[in-house]
Amino acid sequence: MTQTELKEFLDKKAQQYNNRNFIDSDPVQIPHLFTKKEDIEIAGFLAATISWGKRPMIIKNCLLMMDLLGNTPFDFVMHHTEENLEKLTDFKHRTFNGIDLQFFIKSLKNIYTNHGGLEQIFANNISNNSLQPAIHEFKKVFFEIPHPARTTKHVSDPFKGSAAKRINMFLRWMVRQDKLGVDLGVWKNISPSYLSCPLDVHTGNVGRKLGLITRKQNDAKALLELDINLRKLDKKDPVKYDFALFGLGVFEGF
């Protein structure tokens, strides 16, 4: 395929999958349950954090998590008591457990109380036209308060070689404002041009077959390669192609 043919193909596939039907089987449905900005971003961050494994189980556990937070995540974060946190003890999704969830709640309170909220941290730390440095800075802020050592593995760091798939997915949800109904676009101070594709086994495999990635591992270097090539196709909104790559891999077995 020429680059023009590749762009036409991926534009068509992105349009095919970037619609509200996508929500029914995807964790993005969790932040869609809310209307308040802070509820949306906290629900989205927590849902993205446990988005690995089979999607029906992810969604089931996301809904359980929201229920444990009284379906008012921002209010729970800001006004929780130790007794409230105790009720989170038995939560578990794969290796993410109640200890991790309790710390996440405490850290989010610190972020909203002392750092202006989630959006502010990311918006303040963009560099080289990328949000990857901002993810690195976010992790430092997230764990600036006393924390269990085990919990640090649940927030990825691109500067340590991670593709940071789940945080990049969260950022896509918050930043993209295409009005097609999937991504929520509640963050107005960050351009979609800075986003990186959530790189996982599906997008990685399809990306290699299409010549967008040559590196074998799904790591930070592969993500940079994918970023460069997707920006050639659409520099203003490169991660719209996440829908194309993911859809081709998951739904079409490409």
Res. 254 pLDDT band, cuts 50 70 90: confident
38: which residues sit within 8 A by CB, 6+ positions away? 73, 74, 112, 117
- 65 within 8 A of 50, measured Cβ to Cβ: yes
pLDDT at 186: 98
Res. 248 pLDDT band, cuts 50 70 90: very high
Q: What is the DSSP string of the chain?
A: --HHHHHHHHHHHHHHHSSGGGGGGSGGGTGGG--SHHHHHHHHHHHHHT--S-HHHHHHHHHHHHHHTTT-HHHHHHH--HHHHHTTTT-EETTEEHHHHHHHHHHHHHHHHHSS-HHHHHHHT-BTTBSHHHHHHHHHHHTSS---GGGGGGS--GGGT---HHHHHHHHHHH---SSSSS-----SS-GGG------HHHHHHHHHTTS---SS-SHHHHHHHHHHHHHH-SSSGGGHHHHHHHHHHTS--
pLDDT at 253 over 90: no
pLDDT at 207: 97
**What is the overall mean pLDDT for the chain?**
97
For the chain, what are the domain ranges? 3-250
Chain segment 54-81, per-residue pLDDT in tens: 999 999 999 999 999 999 999 999 999 9
Res. 34 pLDDT band, cuts 50 70 90: very high
